[in-house]
Structure 1
Amino acid sequence: MNDVTNEAAIEQATQSAFTLQLQDDIGIITMDVPGERMNTLRASFVDDIQALLADIKASSHIKGLVLRSGKPDSFIAGADVNMLAACTSAEQAQALSKAGQDIFNQLAALDIPLIAAIHGPCLGGGLELALACHGRVCSDHEKTRLGLPEVQLGLLPGSGGTQRLPRLVGLTKSLDMMLTGKQLRAKQAFKAGLVDDMVPHSILLDTAIALARGGKPGHKRKRDMKTLALEANPLGRKLVFDKALSTLRAKTRGKYPAPEKLLEVVKIGFEQGMHKGLAAEAEAFGKLVMSPESAALRQLFFATTEMKKETQWQGESPNTLAHIGVLGGGLMGGGIAFVTAIKAELPVRIKDISHQGINQAMANAHGLLASKVRKKQLRHTEMKQQLGRITGTLDYSGFERVDLVVEAVFEDLDVKRNMVAEVEAHCPEHAVFATNTSSLPIHQIAEGAARPGQILGLHYFSPVDKMPLAEIIPHAGTDSATVATALKLARAQGKTPIVVQDSAGFYVNRILAPYLNEAARLLLEGEPIEAIDKALVDYGFPVGAMTLLDEVGIDVAAKISPILERELGERFKAPDAFGKLLEDNRHGKKNGRGFYRYEAGSRHKKGKPVDESLYRLLDIKPQSRLPAQELAERCVLLMLNEAAITLDEGVIASARDGDIGAVFGIGFPPFAGGPFFYMHQLGITAVIDKMEEYARKYGERFTPCEPLRRLAAEGGSYY
C-alpha cells in the first residue's frame, strides 16, 4: 500500500472528528472522535461534515473517497443517544432527524464515489452513514457487526435508514433487521448484499480504495422467485407488511409503539417515494423520542452503559483472573463453566463427584456451540478451541492455580461450608470463593472460614447462557477487592451484575416472591391458570407467573418462601397451594408435572395445555371473574411495594440497580423501565392511591409501605 500523504490545503483541523488526507487521487476521510473509545455521531458534526464537503468539492485532485474509522476496533457505534435527552419536544427531535437526513443526502449526491471501509461495530447512525455511501467493504473480523438497533431504544432509524436499507437488501430482509434490532456478522452482511465485499482487515483500506477508483458500484441484488413474487408488486408487498404487523402485535401486545411506526414509515417510502418516506421517518422519530416507552428503554441503556464503566468497588481494583474453577457440573455449574470459557475466554476447571456430571457439562457446552456451527456463526475449528478451555476432574487437581472458584452444588448449608474448607485447603491463598446460592445467607456460609473476606455470593439465573443478570452478594466481612473481582468476572461472562445486600432472598427473589404468591392466591380464588398468565404477558412480562413457577420449579419456590417469611415477616407467607402441589409430586417442568402438562404428545397448536387435574386437587372451579388489568395489577403492585422497601433498607444501592435487576433478572417489562422508573412515570401518589384502593378490596397486604408514603409526602421521586 502506498503511504498516505497529507495535503495541507485540504487537511481538517486537528480537533475535528473528521480528517481528510490524499492517497494519490483518492481522499481518505478518517473519523476519530477525540477522547472517546468509540466513534458516535453528534449533531455538532454537521458543521464539520459541511466543511469537509466544501473542501472535497473545491479540490480537482480527488476522484474518489473512502470513509474509515480511526478507532482500532470499531467503525461507528451509532448516534450519541445523549442528544435526545436535551429534546423537550417532538419538533426538536424531528429537527435532529432532519439534519441527519440532509447531511447524508449530500453525501449520497456526491458526483465521485464514496466507499465505507467498515471494521468493528457499524450500528445505528453508523450504518445509516454507511448506507449513504455509494459502496461498502467490511472486514471479516469477528468484531464486525452491522445493524440498526434503534427499535431496542423505542425509536426507529432517523437518518434515512428506513428508506435506504430496504432499497439495498430488500423489504423482507430489512424489516427482519430493523424490527428486531438484529446485528449481521460480516459474512451475513455480504450474503445479504449489505456490503459489496468482505476481506481480511489487513487489506480493508486497499480494497476500499480500489473500489473507489472503479467508480460507483452497481448493486444488483440476487432475488429468488419467492422474494420477487413478494416484493416486486403491490399485492406481494401488502402481504409482507400485513404478515409483519400480525407477527409484531402478537409479540409486543401493543406495548411498543416503535416497531409499528417503523412499518408504517417503510410502507410510505415504498408507496409514495423516498422523499415522502424521509419526511415520515423524521416525524415519527420526533414523536417516538418523546414517548414514555423510549424514555424507559433509554434509561435502561444509560444505566447499563454506566455500570460497564465502573471497574472498581469502593476504591479497590479487581484481582487478576487467569484461571477459574467451578464446583458442580450440573445445569448451573455447566452453564457457568460455558459462559466463563466462551464469553470470558478463560480456562475453567470443573470439579464434580462423578464423571457423569463433568460429561453432562461438556455435552451441554458442545450442544450450544454445535448449534452455532450449524448456523455458520462459528467455524468448527473455533468450536474445538473454545471447548478446549473446559476441563474436568474428580479431585482438586488443577485447582492449585485458580484465582476464583464458583460453587454450584445443591442448597445445603453444611455442604457449602465443606466446599469452603476444601477450596481453602487446595486453592491459592488469594482465591475468591463465590457461592451460587439463591436462598442461603452468605455470612452463614462464611462462618468458620479461614479467609472470610474472600467469600461472597455470585447468584446466576437459569439458563445461565441466556439470562443477563448476576447478583453479587458480599457479607459484612467481604473485602472490597473480592467484590471488584466478582464484578469483573461477571461482566467478562456477558452478565450485567448488581451488588446486593446479604439478606433473605437478596433482591430479585425477594421482589418476585410477593408477585408469585399473589398469582397463587388468584388461582385459589378460581381464576383460570391461562387467564392469569395471559394477563401478565399482556401487561408486558415475557411469561406469566404460573409458567415461571413451572420453569423455576415449584419445589424451589416452596423452599424459599419459609425462609423469606421467617426473616422478613408475615407478608411473605405463601398460600397453602404450594404444599398441596408438592404432596402431589408437582415440581414443574423439571419432572413434567406442574400447572401445565409437559409429557410427550400433550402439546397442541396453541402451546402447552393446562393440567386440568390441578383444579380438582385444589378444589377449584375455574371461572374468569376479574378483568385482565386487575389480575396483573394485583401481582405487580406487591412487587413495586417490596422493591421500595428493599431500596429503603439498603438491599440495593440505587433505584438504577433495582430496575436493572428486575428487568434483566425476571423480565419486568422493559418498556416500563423497571419498578422504580415505572413508579416515577406513574407518579408516586398515583401508585399509593392504587394500592390503597386494592387494600380496601383485597386486604392489608396492599397497604403502601412507609418508604413510599414518605417519598410522596416529600414530593420526591426515584428519578
Structure 2
Amino acid sequence: MTDVTSAFSLNRRDDGIAILTMDVPGESMNTLKAEFAEQIAVQLDEIEKDSSIKGLVLASGKASSFVAGADISMLAACQSAEDAVALSRSGQQMFARIENMKIPVVAAIHGPALGGGLELALCCHYRICSLDDKTVMGLPEVQLGLLPGSGGTQRLPKLVGIQKAMTMMLTGKQLRAKQAKKDGLVDDAVPLSILMDVAIQFAKKAKPKRQPPKLNLVGQALERTPFGRNFLFSQARKQTRSKTRGNYPAPERIIDCIEAGVSGSRGYEMEARHFGDLVMTPESKQLRNIFFATTEMKKETGVEGVAPAKVKKTAVLGGGLMGGGIAYVTSSKAGLPVRIKDIRSEGIANAMKYSYDLLIKKVKRRFMRKSEMQKQLALLTGSTDYSGFADADIVVEAVFEDLSLKQQMVADIEANAGAQTIFATNTSSIPIGQIAAKAAKPEQVIGLHYFSPVDKMPLAEVIPHAGTSDATISTTVDFARKQGKTPIVVKDGAGFYVNRILAPYMNEAACVLLAGEPIEQIDQALLNFGFPVGPMKLLDEVGIDIGAKISPILVAELGERFRAPEAFDKLLADDRKGKKNKRGLYQYSGKKPGKEVDESVYSLLGISPSQKFSHDQISERCVLLMLNEAAMCLAEGVIRNARDGDIGAIFGIGFPPFLGGPFRYMDSLGINHVVARLEHYQGLYGDKFTPAPLLKEMMEQNRSFYS
C-alpha cells in the first residue's frame, strides 16, 4: 500500500503495464526533492518484486507539467561541497536504478521537463512527448551557476551527440517537441490526446539497443575520432572563455564532464564532484538568489491587498521602435488586442512589421505554426485617429521625450477613451508628476518604463506619481507581468531608478576617456568586470543625443554630480549620434560595423589616447558611482528594497548577475571597503565620489543590506 504523503503512486493495468505517477502534494508543478529518493525506492522495490509488471510508464499527475526541475531550495541546506556531492550521487544512483531495470521504462512527457526533470526522462529507455506548446525540454542548470548533477552530462551526449548536448547545457536552451524528435532526444512526439496510449505501446516493446546519434559527415569527423573530439573540446573551451571572461565557472566544468564521459574516464564521478564544488561557489549562490528573488516577485501585486483590474483591450501611442516592441509583447505574450495610433500610416505599418519580423523568424525555425502567427498578428490594428480607443483599459504612450507633447497625449486619451482607462507613459526621464500635472484624472496616470529592445529586455519600471491610485499601480504591475516583464515599482523622480544609477557610471567612463584612456580599453575593462556591453559602446547603442537630453533633467533635480562632461557637446556638434546615424565613437562602415573605434573621435575631443589605468582601476571608478547612487536611491525610497534594486540593475542594464546586483555586491565587498574606496577616489577626483550618507551610517552600525 502506498504512503498517502508520497509524491508517487503506482497503478497496475491488466495488460502488464504499470503507470508510476508523480504528483507532488500541494504544488502546482512537480519538482524533485531530496526526500523523493526514498519514496521512489519504495515504488521501484514493489515493481521489481511484481513479476506481472512487464513495462512501466512514468507520468505526471499535473495537468500542465512533467517535472519542472529539482527543488533549488534544498541546495541551501548543503553546508559543504561534500553535502552537495552526496546529493548529486543520490540522484545519479536513483536514475541508474531506473536505467538498469529489466523491464522497459517509458517517460510520458507533457509540459516542461527541465533540469532534473529531463534527467529523469533521460534515464528511461524511451521518451514520448506531447506536441503541446507547453512541452519544452532542457537542462538550464548553467543559469544557476551549476551543471546537471544526476547524470545529465553523461546521458545527453550519447542521445543527441556531443555538439548538440554541449549547446543545450552551456546555454540552457530548451527544445520544443518537434525539434526534440528531430534531434533524437525523444522517440516520438504525438498529440496530447494519445500520449499515454503511445507511451503504453512503447512500454510493451523490448528494451532498445541504443544506436549512436545520427550525425552528418562533419559531425562524424568531429565526434567519432580522437583528433576531432580534441579539436571540438578545445574550441568549445576557447569560445566559452571568450564569452564568460572567467566570471562563470560552470560552463568549463560542464565541458570537462562531457569530455570525461565520452572518453570513458569516470564521467559520473567527475559530474558529482564538480556539481558539489559549484554549489558552494559565490557565483552560484548569487545566481540562485536572483532566481528566488524573481520567483518571490511573481507572487506580489503592485500594492498589497489591492487586486488588479482585468485588462481586456489595450492601445499604444506611437509606432516607433518602442511602440512596436510594446505592441509585440502585449499581443504575443499577454495575448491582448492592441490598437496602435500614429500620426502617419507608415508608423503603424512599421509597428506591425516589428511583430511580423519577430514572428516569421519563429515560424521559419518551427517554434510556431503559421496559423498561430496569423492569430497573433490579428490582435494588432492601427489608426491615425482615436477610433477604437473608447474601450481600451490601458493606453501605453511611447511618443517623443517632450513634456508638452506627453501632456497633450493625456488630454487626448481623457477625451477619447473610457472613464476607466489607465494612461501609462513610457518615458525614460520626465517625472510622471509633470506629465500628469494637467490631467483631469491624475490618479489614472502612471509611468511604465520599458528598456530597448522591448522584446528582449526583461525589466519594466512601474512609476506612480504622488496622485496615482493603488488600483492603477496594481493593474499596471499585473499588465507588465503578463507582457513577460519583471516589474519593479519605483518612486517618481528624474531618471527613476535604472537610468539614475546608470548616468554617473556612464559619465565617469566619459571622464576616463577625456583623461586619454583609449575607448576600447574602457569597454574591455567593463566587459571583463561582467557587463554585457561596455559603456562607450552602450552610449553609441542608446544614442549620444539621448544621453545629452537626459543629463540636464538629472542635473536640475539631483545636482552637479550628474553633469555630463561638456566635451560631449563636440560629438553632437559633429552630428555624432551613435549607431542610429552611423556616426559615433565606433565605425559603422566597412567589414566590421560597430566593432572598431573611430579614431577621428580623439582629435575631435582634443585628446591623445594612451593606456594609463589598469582594467580594475577603470571598472572600480565607474562601478563605485553606480553603487553609491543605488544606495542613495534606497535611502530616498526610490526603490522599495535592496532586492528590487538588485533585480532592476541586473534586468535593466545588465549588472553582472554572478555578483548578485549592486546591493549584494556591496555586501560581499563589505560596506567598510566600499566607503573607503569612495573616499579614496573623492580625494583624487572630487565630491562626486562622496559616500552616500546611508553607507556611512551602515558602516558605523556594522550593518549590511541583506542581514
Q: Using the alignment, how far apart are the partners of 2:237 and 2:485 within structure 1?
A: 32
Partner of 1:6: none
Partner of 1:250: 242
Partner of 1:551: 541
- SS of 1:663's partner is helix
Q: How does 1:486-505 map to 2 (within 5 A)?
A: 486-505=476-495
Deviation track 1:611-636 (CA, whole Å, cap 9, x = no partner) reads 11111111010011111111111100
- Aligned residues: percent identity? 60
Indicate yes or no: 2:598 matched with 1:611. Answer: yes
Partner of 2:637: 650
- SS of 1:692's partner is helix
**1:180 Cα deviation (Å)?**
0.7
Deviation track 1:156-207 (CA, whole Å, cap 9, x = no partner) reads 0111111111111111110010011111111111111110000001100111
Q: How does 1:31-70 map to 2 (within 5 A)?
A: 31-70=22-61
**1:390 Cα deviation (Å)?**
0.5
Partner of 2:394: 404
Q: Using the alignment, how far apart are the partners of 1:238 and 1:182 within structure 2?
A: 24
Partner of 1:595: 585
Q: Using the alignment, how far apart are the partners of 2:450 and 2:302 within structure 1?
A: 21
Q: Which moved more, 1:683-692 or 1:694-703?
A: 694-703
- SS of 2:381's partner is strand
Deviation track 1:241-273 (CA, whole Å, cap 9, x = no partner) reads 011001101111010000011111221222234
- The answer to whether the Cα contact below 8 Å between 1:314 and 1:480 also exists between their aligned partners in 2 is no
TM-score (norm 2): 0.98
**1:555 Cα deviation (Å)?**
0.8
Deviation track 1:194-230 (CA, whole Å, cap 9, x = no partner) reads 1000000110011100000012234333222111111
Q: Using the alignment, how far apart are the partners of 2:216 and 2:134 within structure 1?
A: 30
Partner of 1:482: 472
- The answer to whether the Cα contact below 8 Å between 1:602 and 1:608 also exists between their aligned partners in 2 is no
Partner of 2:227: 235
Indicate yes or no: 2:687 matched with 1:696. Answer: no
Indicate yes or no: 2:558 matched with 1:568. Answer: yes
**1:582 Cα deviation (Å)?**
1.3
Q: Using the alignment, how far apart are the partners of 2:591 and 2:232 within structure 1?
A: 33
**1:14 Cα deviation (Å)?**
2.6
> How many residues are matched?
704
Aligned pair partner of 1:166 in 157, 167, 178: 157
Partner of 1:414: 404
Q: How does 1:288-367 map to 2 (within 5 A)?
A: 288-311=278-301, 313-367=303-357
Q: Using the alignment, how far apart are the partners of 1:687 and 1:109 within structure 2?
A: 55
- SS of 1:650's partner is coil
Indicate yes or no: 2:442 matched with 1:438. Answer: no
- SS of 1:138's partner is strand
**1:40 Cα deviation (Å)?**
0.3
Partner of 1:15: 5
Partner of 1:633: 620
Q: CA, structure 1 residues 602+618, in 2 after alignment: closer, same or farther (shift >3 Å)?
A: farther
- SS of 2:53's partner is coil
Deviation track 1:516-538 (CA, whole Å, cap 9, x = no partner) reads 00000011000011111111111
Q: Using the alignment, how far apart are the partners of 1:690 and 1:135 within structure 2?
A: 58
**1:13 Cα deviation (Å)?**
2.4
- The answer to whether the Cα contact below 8 Å between 2:317 and 2:396 also exists between their aligned partners in 1 is yes
Q: Using the alignment, how far apart are the partners of 2:512 and 2:345 within structure 1?
A: 45
- The answer to whether the Cα contact below 8 Å between 1:520 and 1:577 also exists between their aligned partners in 2 is no
Counterpart code for 2:204 = R
Partner of 1:714: 701
Partner of 2:510: 520
Deviation track 1:108-131 (CA, whole Å, cap 9, x = no partner) reads 111111100001110000001111
- The answer to whether the Cα contact below 8 Å between 2:461 and 2:487 also exists between their aligned partners in 1 is yes
**Unaligned runs of at least 5 residues, structure 1:** 1-10
**1:602 Cα deviation (Å)?**
5.5
Q: Using the alignment, how far apart are the partners of 1:602 and 1:198 within structure 2?
A: 44
Q: How does 1:450-465 map to 2 (within 5 A)?
A: 450-465=440-455
Q: How does 1:87-126 map to 2 (within 5 A)?
A: 87-126=78-117
**1:587 Cα deviation (Å)?**
1.0
Counterpart code for 2:257 = V
Q: Which moved more, 1:431-440 or 1:572-581?
A: 572-581
Partner of 1:507: 497
Aligned pair partner of 1:202 in 188, 193, 204: 193
- The answer to whether the Cα contact below 8 Å between 1:117 and 1:136 also exists between their aligned partners in 2 is yes
- SS of 1:399's partner is coil
Counterpart code for 1:529 = I
**1:312 Cα deviation (Å)?**
5.2
**1:421 Cα deviation (Å)?**
1.2
Deviation track 1:48-90 (CA, whole Å, cap 9, x = no partner) reads 0111111111212211100011111111000000001111211
Q: Which moved more, 1:665-674 or 1:370-379?
A: 370-379
Deviation track 1:335-385 (CA, whole Å, cap 9, x = no partner) reads 100111111111100011110100111112111111222222222222111
- SS of 1:400's partner is coil
Partner of 1:578: 568
- SS of 1:156's partner is coil
- The answer to whether the Cα contact below 8 Å between 2:544 and 2:578 also exists between their aligned partners in 1 is yes
